[in-house]
Structure 1
Amino acid sequence: MRSRPPHPRLPRRQHRDRGQVAVEYLGFLPVLLIVGLAGIQLGAVAYAAEQAGTAARAGARAASLQQDVGAACASAVSSGIHVSCATSGGGDSVTVTATVHIPEIMWKDLGNATKSATMPVDH
C-alpha cells in the first residue's frame, strides 16, 4: 500500500482564507430565504385570485340556472379555501362576486381577492 506524499504547507495568507466562502454563503442565506418566501407569497396571491375567479364563474352559472349559488361557489374552489359569494343584478343577467382570503405566508393580512362574473339568465 502506497502512502500519499505529505501536503506542502500552505502559505500563511491562504491558510487564513480557508472557510471564507462558507462564511459568505451563511451571510447571504437569509437574503435567499426572504426572496424565496416572497416568491411563494406572490404565488399564493395569484392562486387566491384564480380561485375567486373560478368561484365567481361557477356561481354566476348556477345563478343563471336558478340553482344554489353558495354550493356552486364552494364546490368550485379547492378544499381548505373559504369562499363567500354575493349575487346582484336582475332582469336578463346576474352577477356573482366571489371573495377569497389570501393565505398568509410571509406578510400578515394581505386582504381578500375579489372577482366578479356576469352571465345571462336562462329562461
Structure 2
Amino acid sequence: MRALLRRREAAPPRRWARRWNDRGVSMLEFAGFLPILLVIGMAAIQLGLIGYGINQAGTAARAAARVASQNGDGAAAGAAAVSGWLSPQVNAPKGPDTTTATVTVHVPAVIPLFRGWDVTRHATMPSDH
C-alpha cells in the first residue's frame, strides 16, 4: 500500500509542471479574439441604425405625401416626422392627381472605415381636389 502511495505522489509533479506552463493561454486567446467580437458587435449596431433610418424615411415620406396631398406643407410635415440627427431631405411636390413625396436621410457610420449611407423612400397619395 505504501509503495502504491509513493508512486502516486511521484507522478503529479509532471502533470503540475505541464499545467503551470499553460497559465494565461486562455486570456491571450480572448485578447486575440476580442477585436473580431468588437467588429461583429459594431456591424450589428450599424445594421440596426440602417433599419431605423429606413423606417424613419418611410414614415416621413408617408406623412409628407399625406399633408401635401391636402394642400399643406408636406416638406415641413416630413421633416417633423424624422429624428433630427438623420438630416432629412424632403421633397413633396403636389401633382394634379397624385402627390409623391421623396425623403432621403443620412445614416451615420459606426465603423470608422465607412462614411455612412443615404436611404431614400417614396410614398404616393391621391391628391384632394
TM class by shorter-chain length? Answer: 0.7 to 0.9
- CA change 1:79–1:111 in 2 (3 A) is closer
Number of aligned residues: 116
Report which stretch shifted further, 97-106 or 72-81: 72-81
Using structure 2 for the length normalisation, give the TM-score: 0.82
Using structure 1 for the length normalisation, give the TM-score: 0.86
Q: Which residue of 1 aligns with 2:50?
A: 45
Structure 1 unaligned spans of 5+: 1-7
Greater gyration radius: 2
What fraction of aligned residue pairs are identical, expressed as a percent? 46
Letter in 1 for 2:41: G
- Once the two structures are superposed, residues 51-80 of structure 1 have per-residue CA deviations (whole angstroms, 9 ceiling, x without a partner) of 110110000001111111121011101232
Letter in 2 for 1:30: P
Q: Which residue of 2 aligns with 1:3?
A: none
Give SS of 1:46's match: helix
Structure 1's consecutive aligned runs of 4 or more residues displaced over 3 angstroms after TM superposition are: none
2:86 and 2:127 map into 1 onto residues whose CA distance is 28
Q: Given the alignment, which residue of 53, 64, 69 partners 1:64?
A: 69
Q: Which residue of 2 aligns with 1:90?
A: 95
- CA change 1:69–1:88 in 2 (3 A) is closer
- CA change 1:80–1:102 in 2 (3 A) is closer
Instruction: Give the RMSD, CA atoms, in angstroms.
Output: 1.7
Q: Which residue of 2 aligns with 1:104?
A: 109
- Once the two structures are superposed, residues 6-50 of structure 1 have per-residue CA deviations (whole angstroms, 9 ceiling, x without a partner) of xx8662110111111111111111110000001111111111111
Q: Which structure shows the bigger proportion of residues in helix conformation?
A: 2
Q: Which residue of 2 aligns with 1:18?
A: 23
